[in-house]
Structure 1
Amino acid sequence: MDKNNQYNSVFISDVHLGFLGCKAEKLYEFLNKLNCKKLFLVGDIIDFWAMKDNFYWPKEHQKVLDKLKEIKDSGTDVFYITGNHDDPLRSKKDANKFIETDKRFKKILDKANTFKVVDSHIHESQTQGRILIIHGDQFDVVTSNIKWLSKFGGVLYEILLKLNRPLSKKLKSLTKKTVNKASNFQLNVQRLCKKEKFKGLLCGHTHLPQIKQNSDYIYFNTGDWIEACTAITEDRDGSFELKSFSKAKSVLINKL
């Protein structure tokens, strides 16, 4: 293992295995070099929404899931925080519906359930105190209350990816920023941290990677593996870094 990759904890989200735009090969390269005590998969790792009407599961996506299982079997604690795109992991009833639709979902669900599947987790960091880890769809009123619109957006994004990737990236970013502002995403995060006395909140969902020190809490966002190819790492000394792995060498975006 590369000594530069010996972390206390690593956080990734919004991989969207099963979705056309997933950069599975980039993620596999990252995971293949990874050495950490804890690995947090912060939701939307598997995109069941995208596969419901059009099953898509190439070998590169299976390799990523197999690698995650290998990391777990090597002794790393792997936590799977459920997201809205992998909501069959939140409900056995929903899982059974997917399996009834296509038996191939069972193999994927069975492997995902070998991890520690939870809706949220409280991480006791060395330097920043209690940090809530949650996917983040809970703060998005569009996803929570107008599910069909969110799913339609995913279909439209996939079409745009096939036609023009740079354009789809710009539109996706603009849409996410607009929805976040309209749904008071950050305000809802702040209220929860204040109410539950969390020092920080780490999530995904928005696909907008960030580490931001606010006056009364720290906001972490892991980004995604469709465009940004980002991860947040917690080093052995307790420091946090947000890095992009889209290029041959990792690029530091921010640190705390």
Structure 2
Amino acid sequence: MQGTTQHYRAIWLSDIHLGYRDCKAEFLLDFLAKTTCDNLFLVGDVVDLWAMKRQLFWPSSHQQVLDALLEKSRQGCNVIYVPGNHDESMRSYHGSVFQGVECHREYTYESLAYGKLLMLHGDEFDGAVKCGRLHHWVGDKGYDLLLFINRWVNRGRAWFGFSYWSAAAYLKKKVKKAEAAIKRFEDAAIREAKRRGVDGVVCGHIHSANMRYEDGTLYLNDGDWVESCTAAVEHVSGEIELLHWSNTQKQIDQLRPELTVVTGRAA
């Protein structure tokens, strides 16, 4: 894709965490420069206000990401922003428009092949994971450790000329309790879609990109730009796909076959 621009009917991004030192802003800038779309959905945690309260961190690359997102709107793209828990103060601006970007507490999108998709950040399903305060605290500390490991592993890989690899995502998959919690989260999201009478749900929050099509209901988690650098896209044909985007096109091509691709609704 180097040197070309790919157009999509829709792009979903979430958990960018601008203002947080582990945000992979450079990879996202490359993605935004090489893609266009009719609809851009920002599904929460775009700016990490929690992290910025602890320590102000705003490098030029983070401002460039924000500028690039606003530029999409100026170019005529329909940009919808659904705030998450790390930027939850923006939820009070439901129904407002900022520089062409619409802010909604949640949003329903009519996809080409899957019908109505409910978009919300996903912290609404935290209760399904059933973690007490102690477990949340341990989880936060453990996650910080994962990102610390991820940071230093990739510094080492860069030193030896290797491309980016998400050590954090790999280690999470090896922890059975983490896998079980993610499964409970996904099940809760699917139940909510069925309860609302929509055809699917799109969310982020748990930093675990995945697609499931279960009993006529689509679950789509577009992942994050802290660990895995993933986005969900809807092609003009209606096909929905998860893309991994890091520092080499070769790696993207290698990873694509490993990601779930759903090409049409079940009859």
The two structures have a TM-score, normalised by structure 1, of 0.81
Supply the AA of the counterpart residue of 2:260. Answer: N
Instruction: Name structure 2 gaps, 5 residues minimum.
Output: 154-166, 263-267
2:45–2:86 CA contact under 8 A, matched in 1: yes
2:4 touches 2:34 (CA, 8 Å); kept in 1? no
Correspondences of 1:68-79 after superposition (within 5 Å): 68-79=69-80
1:63/1:78 Cα in 2 relative to 1: closer, same or farther (>3 Å)? Answer: same
Match in the other structure for 2:164? none
Q: Distance in 2 between matches of 1:12 and 1:148?
A: 30
Question: Across the two proteins, how many residue pairs are aligned to each other?
Answer: 237
Structure 1 residue 164, shift from structure 2 partner = 5.5
Q: Shift in Å at residue 112 of structure 1?
A: 6.6
Decide whether the 8 Å contact of 1:14 with 1:207 is kept in 2.
Answer: yes
2:33 corresponds to: 32
SS at match of 1:90: helix
Q: How does 1:77-88 map to 2 (within 5 A)?
A: 77-88=78-89
The answer to whether structure 1 residue 136 and structure 2 residue 122 are counterparts is: yes
Aligned-partner Cα distance in 2 for 1:242–1:248: 17
Could you tell me which residue of structure 2 aligns to residue 228 of structure 1? 228
Distance 2:194 2:171 in 1: 33
- CA 1:86 to 1:5, structure 2 compared with 1: closer, same or farther past 3 Å? same
Distance in 1 (CA, whole Å) between partners of 2:242 and 2:119 is 16
Q: Which residue of 2 aligns with 1:104?
A: none
- In the aligned structure 1, how far is the partner of 2:226 from the partner of 2:135? 20
Matching of residue 199 in structure 1 with residue 199 in structure 2? yes
Which among 97, 106, 113 is matched to residue 120 of structure 1? 106
Q: Which residue of 2 aligns with 1:240?
A: 240
| 1:36-185 equivalences in 2 (<5 Å) | 36-91=37-92, 115-141=101-127, 150=136, 153-154=139-140, 157-158=143-144, 161-162=147-148, 165=151, 166=153, 168-170=168-170, 174=175, 176-181=178-183, 184-185=184-185
Contact 1:176 1:206 in 2 (8 A): no
Q: 1:168 to 1:185 in 2, by over 3 A?
A: closer
Q: CA deviation at 1:44?
A: 0.9
1:19 positional shift = 0.8
Please name the residue that 2:8 is paired with. Answer: 7
Match of 1:211?
A: 211
Q: CA deviation at 1:216?
A: 3.1
- In the TM superposition, what is the alpha-carbon distance from 1:229 to its structure 2 partner? 0.8
Query: What is the rounded CA distance, in whole Å, between the counterparts of 1:69 and 1:202 in structure 2?
Result: 22
Query: Structure 2 CA distance, aligned partners of 1:45 and 1:64?
Result: 10
| CA pair 229-210 structure 1, distance change in 2 beyond 3 A | same
Shift of 1:200: 0.9
SS at match of 1:206: coil
What TM-score results when the alignment is normalised by the length of structure 2?
A: 0.78
Aligned equivalents of 2:11 and 2:52: distance in 1?
A: 27
Amino acid at match of 1:180: I
- Name the CA distance, whole Å, in 2 between partners of 1:224 and 1:112: 23
- Deviation (angstroms), 1:7: 0.7
Q: 1:59 to 1:148 in 2, by over 3 A?
A: farther
Q: Secondary structure at the match of 2:20?
A: coil
Aligned Cα root-mean-square deviation (Å): 3.0
Letter of the structure 1 residue corresponding to residue 54 of structure 2: D
Q: CA deviation at 1:152?
A: 7.2
Preserved CA contact (<8 Å) 2:27 2:245: yes
